[in-house]
Amino acid sequence: MSEAQKFQHILNGIREDLTFIEELYRKLDWNLFNNQGLRSDFSYKKTAFEIIEWINDVFLDKIYEIDSKIHKFLIDLSLEKMYMVSIQEMEKYIRNIIQEKKGLGYGDTYLNLKKLEVAISNYRYQINTTMDFVRKFLYETNWTNMKKINTEDYLFLIKRRKYITAREELQWVKQAIKDGKYEDILNHLRSSIDLAIKERFGFTRIKNYWEFVVFADNTDFPLPSYDMLYFYFSEGSDRLHSGRLHSPFECQTALDFVNSFIDKLELINISQEEIDNFKKKCKWVE
């Protein structure tokens, strides 16, 4: 991979993260406009606390992760003076939403929500502008500063509080790829998927993953992917059964998928009642 390709690969990853932020915004918008718990005196406090915790643990945390990744990239390029992006505008409107005096969903909640959407767009614009300056500088210097950059360092940063055990498994995989040790990577990727799904839906055990995925697919239980889960948990392939992926490209692709899969779990809109009903019907989960 050329230095220009490495730069584009990292930039593409940052842009995917930004798109994920926009998707998280749409989930927040849906939760504030359509969540019946915010319209019910009986469940308002519990629902409001859950949304606020999600904003802190997932939404804000993802913003901090992206900003940290960009800052690290520029520092590693010795171009920290080009750090011309700021998350302050997004933080301001998120805090305004959380700290609304009349309560979440009341007062200026939706005015601040609309301003947050604009702030997210401004942040993307700032990043694109900054990266245009960086790209121009790298061309002028024959990409010299990119030679010390390792793309794996920017795949993701382990910062989020949710799914932390699942991401610890991914951290092991990330280090193994850097060290060229591919023998047991798939088993750790499977473990990461397992841990993340159990945390997201409150399962304590998944007895048989193949049967679970088949049942989930047939009953339209919302998972970010079915086909790729079929692949990673298939027992029909000797290579998969041995827990081996044989090339750096395969490992990197698998790592990208699992990391994205865990992120996408947060975008699933499903009620606790729907989860409980699924658990009653599916004999493969507890």
Look at residue 267 in the predicted model and tell me its pLDDT. Answer: 83
146-157 per-position pLDDT tens digit: 998 887 776 655
Q: Which of 111, 126, 152 is the last residue of a domain?
A: 152
In the chain, the number of structural domains is 2
Residue 246 lies in a domain: yes
- Judging by beta carbons within 10 Å of its beta carbon (0-12, 13-18, 19+), is residue 269 exposed, middle or buried? exposed
54-103 per-position pLDDT tens digit: 899 889 988 998 998 899 899 999 998 888 889 999 999 999 999 999 88
- Same domain for 183 and 92: no
Q: Which helix (H) or strand (E) holds 176?
A: helix 164-179
Helices (H) then strands (E): counts for the chain: 12, 0
> In which residue ranges of the chain is pLDDT below 70?
154-161, 235-246
Cβ atoms of 85 and 126 closer than 8 Å: yes
- Same domain for 249 and 222: yes
* Cross-strand pairs, 131: none
- Same domain for 178 and 123: no
51, two tokens: 């949304």
Look at residue 180 in the predicted model and tell me its pLDDT. Answer: 77
Which residues are CB-neighbours of 110 under 8 A, at least 6 positions away?
32, 33
Spatial distance between the Cα atoms of 33 and 28, rounded to a whole number of angstroms: 9
Look at residue 32 in the predicted model and tell me its pLDDT. Answer: 86
- Same domain for 174 and 89: no
- Same domain for 171 and 146: no
Q: Which domain holds residue 108?
A: 3-152
Cβ atoms of 279 and 198 closer than 8 Å: no
Residue 52 three-state SS: helix
Look at residue 236 in the predicted model and tell me its pLDDT. Answer: 39
Q: Which of 110, 127, 152 is the last residue of a domain?
A: 152
- Same domain for 131 and 24: yes
Residue 137 lies in a domain: yes
Q: Which of 99, 133, 152 is the last residue of a domain?
A: 152
- Same domain for 132 and 197: no
